[in-house]
Amino acid sequence: MMRSGNPALNKKTFENLTNTRGSVMTLDGTVNKTAISLGLLMVAAYYTYSKQDLSLIIPGFIGGIVVFFITMFKKEWSPITVPIYAVLEGLALGGISAIYASEYTGIVQQAIFLTFGIFATLLFAYKTKVIKPTENFKLGIVAATGGIALVYMISLVMSFFGGGLEVMNPTNSSWLSIGFSLFVVVIASLNLVLDFDYIEDAVDSGAPKYMEWYGAFGLLVTLVWLYLEILRLLTKLNGRD
């Protein structure tokens, strides 16, 4: 049984899919859709980043969450919803990146480089079988991702009462806080391996053509998470200077 910590790619993602047109999902097609989605995200992010427009952060994320759930429950709409999701997330990420850049020069460029570097490295490791997503590997990553999600939820609830977990605070540069962020970055990175495995299994099973967009969507979700956590980690490390 396949498992993934990514809510967009789980064991039920490719169940009960009907292929009415005969066209099937391909690896090349998924790569192309992923490149298009990332391109849209980066263009939207550059707009808000260059304009220093922070007003689109909340609308971008709220809109992104709405489209996220629409895409999960209506996978056949992916060719339309995934580009919209990419633009909305880009608008939000651009504003957030501008906030971080105002505190530390060059931190956004470093985070982008590290995110794509990790993506390329893990894709190479997966294709060359250096990393093999065994069942135990998947269980470990899913369990760790679930634990991190629980920490996020606790911190969110505490924030409603004026608090929050200190390890989640980007201004907390203690070694415990840095260690937590490093752990989250590692787990977010390894979720990419599970995403690669899911996409490859979907291709092998002859999933419908529109699932190329959905595969790109799954990767986008993980990459956004990874980028934000790298930004948080770099901020904590810079705080120790």
pLDDT category of residue 2 using cuts at 50, 70 and 90: very low
Q: What is the pLDDT of residues 32-55, one digit of tens each?
A: 999 999 999 999 999 999 999 899
Q: Is the pLDDT of residue 12 over 70?
A: no
Asked if the structure places residue 12 within a domain, the reply is: no
The rounded radius of gyration (Å) of the Cα atoms in the chain is 18
Asked if the structure places residue 13 within a domain, the reply is: no
Distance of alpha carbon 131 from alpha carbon 126, whole angstroms: 5
pLDDT the model gives residue 10 = 57
Positive or negative torsion for Cα 121, 127, 128, 131:
positive
pLDDT the model gives residue 14 = 55
Asked if the structure places residue 47 within a domain, the reply is: yes
Instruction: List C-alpha distances in Å: 8 to 13, 212, 215.
Output: 7, 13, 9
Asked if the structure places residue 5 within a domain, the reply is: no
Asked if the structure places residue 15 within a domain, the reply is: no
pLDDT category of residue 82 using cuts at 50, 70 and 90: very high
pLDDT the model gives residue 169 = 87
Asked if the structure places residue 131 within a domain, the reply is: yes
Angle, alpha carbons 171-118-112 (nearest 5°): 55
Distance of alpha carbon 12 from alpha carbon 26, whole angstroms: 19
Average of per-residue pLDDT across 131-157: 91
Domain span including residue 137: 27-238
Q: What is the pLDDT of residues 68-77, one digit of tens each?
A: 999 999 999 9
The residues that bridge with 208 in the sheet, in sequence order, are 24
pTM for the predicted model, two decimal places:
0.88
Asked if the structure places residue 4 within a domain, the reply is: no
pLDDT the model gives residue 1 = 38
pLDDT the model gives residue 224 = 96
Distance of alpha carbon 213 from alpha carbon 23, whole angstroms: 14
- Given a contact cutoff of 8 angstroms between Cβ atoms, the answer to whether 3 and 193 are in contact is no
The mean of the pLDDT values for the chain is 89
Q: What is the pLDDT of residues 174-216, one digit of tens each?
A: 999 999 999 999 999 999 999 999 999 999 988 999 999 999 9
Token representation of residue 163: 């608090």
Asked if the structure places residue 16 within a domain, the reply is: no
Angle, alpha carbons 169-190-104 (nearest 5°): 35
Domain total in the chain: 1
What are the backbone angles phi and psi of residue 24, rounded to the nearest 5°? -120, 160
